[in-house]
Amino acid sequence: MVSRLSTLESAAVFFSLPEATLRALARRLRRIKVSPGEMIVFQGEPGDTIFIVERGRCRMVIEKPPSIVTVALLSEGDFFGEGAALLNRPQQASVYAQTDGYLLALDRQALHTVMAGREHPALEELRLVADQRFRAFADTSVQATWGLLLNEATVVGVYSPKGGSGGTCISLNLVGALARRYPGQVLLLDLDFPYSHSALLAGLVPTSCLARMASVPQGSFEEVLLSAVLYHPGGPMILPGALRPEEADEITPELITRAISVLRKSFTYVVVDLGVTITDSTLALFDLTQHVVVVAAPELSAVKSAADAIDILGQLGTPTDRLSVVLNSRSFKPAVTKSAVERSLKREIDVQIQYDGSKPEQAAVDGVILSLTNPHSEMAKGCEVLAALLDSKHGKHRSPNPVAAPVEGGSVPAGVGAAE
């Protein structure tokens, strides 16, 4: 009883009820144990129960094929199901358990019995909360999928859960490979904090970045954002996330959402280098991506980190066909074989990049992108395979240019310029 009362007192709306009412509700609560991945309510089904999270975490998602949009992450004291229980609406979203935990279930009949009638002020407040949440989640799911409906840019997140696996190098070369197909229509958004070095590694000198757009008014945001994009003579575009480490704090989920909404209208592919850490901004980006590439090196610690990342992405609702794994061999004799990596990850490797000697490091020193200047390098060949994989899944409605010859020096292939 003490535990149930404590949970009710921490829940919005319920905490303001008199103690006698809280005790009466607590006596009617049913405790339900849940396990990771277990579905608690299913989108579209009827319901008559409010669930309060007593312990653990849950994820609320709205499924809009082909995407799944996470609209809320729930923890102790949060509740869901109120729309079905009080407004007789079908469940707006599906809810899954992310961890082991306990829920407290309060059905409609018990709620009305304790509240002594449908006009109780607390019931009215609950209905108001249910209606506000319904509208907010509907708006969120539409915003996250409108780009798909309008056939706008495909957003690809490149995530390297272990530093030193080559995530930034692969991001750059993937953008180069895609830009050979779509010159002037592919952008790399560098969110590898605290140091966003993609522009420098490509031989470009950045003068502005996304972090400095935080205070730009909405009316001029698009123009200012696109003016910060750097144009590489080989075809790809690069937008640095921050120029100084302290500027990374300016990158909020809201800023990322604003930026992606603009970039989707301006490019065919937006590749985002997500770096190695999962932050609030990274979580926001995962919901805006149509594909996630996980980069792993054949090393014990990197494979373990990749396995954890794939598990987290699954809990966040990333469909298996929208997730690719790249195995990047950084040494001549890998410590872990490909088959052993696949056993650890419990899935096949989609693309394997063979050891490329000192070419990636030398390319960084020279400020060139191998997929544009040396298509015979292992890095370039691997990223070309990855680009073809992405195009097979997301490029069906596009008309790519024939793959151009590698760019030598500073010549600019036809089509390079501001995206239409």
101 and 199 fall within a common domain: no
- Lowest model confidence (mean pLDDT) among 5-14, 114-123, 316-325: 114-123
Dihedral of CA atoms 283, 148, 272, 318 in degrees, nearest 10, equals: 40
Q: For the chain, how many structural domains are there in total?
A: 2
More confident residue, 389 or 148: 389
Cβ atoms of residues 229 and 206 within 8 Å:
no
pLDDT at 138: 64
- Lowest model confidence (mean pLDDT) among 70-74, 270-274, 389-393: 70-74
pLDDT at 189: 95
- Give the SS3 label for residue 38: coil
- pLDDT of residue 151 exceeding 70: no
Tell whether 403 is covered by a domain.
no
Mean pLDDT of the chain: 82
Radius of gyration of the chain (CA): 24
Tell whether 402 is covered by a domain.
no
**What backbone phi and psi angles, to 5 degrees, belong to 63?**
-95, 120
The residue range of the domain holding 45 is: 2-143
More confident residue, 145 or 10: 10
Distance CA 405, CA 135 (A): 50
User: Which among 300, 283, 387, 290 has a CA at the least distance from the CA of 345?
Assistant: 300
Region 159-172: mean pLDDT is: 90
Residue 140 — very low, low, confident or very high, per pLDDT cuts 50/70/90? low
Distance CA 28, CA 14 (A): 14
Write down the residue that tokens 């993937």 correspond to: 174
More confident residue, 134 or 171: 171
Distance CA 207, CA 190 (A): 14
Residues pairing with 293 in the sheet: 158, 324
Residue 417 — very low, low, confident or very high, per pLDDT cuts 50/70/90? very low
Tell whether 409 is covered by a domain.
no
90 and 175 fall within a common domain: no
Distance CA 108, CA 130 (A): 14
pLDDT at 386: 96
Tell whether 99 is covered by a domain.
yes
Cβ atoms of residues 41 and 91 within 8 Å:
yes
More confident residue, 248 or 358: 358
Distance CA 343, CA 347 (A): 7
User: Which among 242, 251, 257 has a CA at the least distance from the CA of 194?
Assistant: 242
pLDDT at 326: 95
Q: Among the three residues 99, 118, 143, which one is the final residue of a domain in this structure?
A: 143
pLDDT at 86: 79
In Å, how far are 28, 167, 285, 295 from 282, measured between CA atoms?
Answer: 40, 15, 5, 16
Residue 411 — very low, low, confident or very high, per pLDDT cuts 50/70/90? very low
pLDDT at 117: 56
188 and 324 fall within a common domain: yes
Region 213-236: mean pLDDT is: 87
User: Which among 418, 374, 375, 409 has a CA at the least distance from the CA of 183?
Assistant: 418
pLDDT at 164: 82
User: Which among 287, 235, 227 has a CA at the least distance from the CA of 260?
Assistant: 287
Cβ atoms of residues 271 and 174 within 8 Å:
yes
In Å, how far are 22, 84, 379 from 17, measured between CA atoms?
Answer: 6, 22, 63
Tell whether 399 is covered by a domain.
no
- pLDDT of residue 169 exceeding 90: yes
- pLDDT of residue 234 exceeding 90: no
- pLDDT of residue 297 exceeding 60: yes
Residue 277 — very low, low, confident or very high, per pLDDT cuts 50/70/90? confident
165 and 305 fall within a common domain: yes
Q: What percent of the chain has pLDDT over 70?
A: 87
Distance CA 272, CA 275 (A): 9
pLDDT at 67: 59
- pLDDT of residue 155 exceeding 60: yes
- Beta carbons within 10 angstroms of residue 2's beta carbon: 7
Cβ atoms of residues 177 and 387 within 8 Å:
yes
Distance CA 226, CA 245 (A): 22
CATH of the domain at 380: 3.40.50.300
Distance CA 207, CA 227 (A): 10
137 and 271 fall within a common domain: no
- How does DSSP classify residue 89? P
pLDDT at 141: 54
- pLDDT of residue 342 exceeding 80: yes
More confident residue, 241 or 4: 241
Q: Among the three residues 143, 165, 181, which one is the final residue of a domain in this structure?
A: 143
Residue 142 — very low, low, confident or very high, per pLDDT cuts 50/70/90? low
For the segment 31-40, what is each residue's pLDDT rounded down to a tens digit?
Answer: 999 998 899 9
Distance CA 53, CA 33 (A): 10
Write down the residue that tokens 């405790």 correspond to: 31
- pLDDT of residue 407 exceeding 70: no
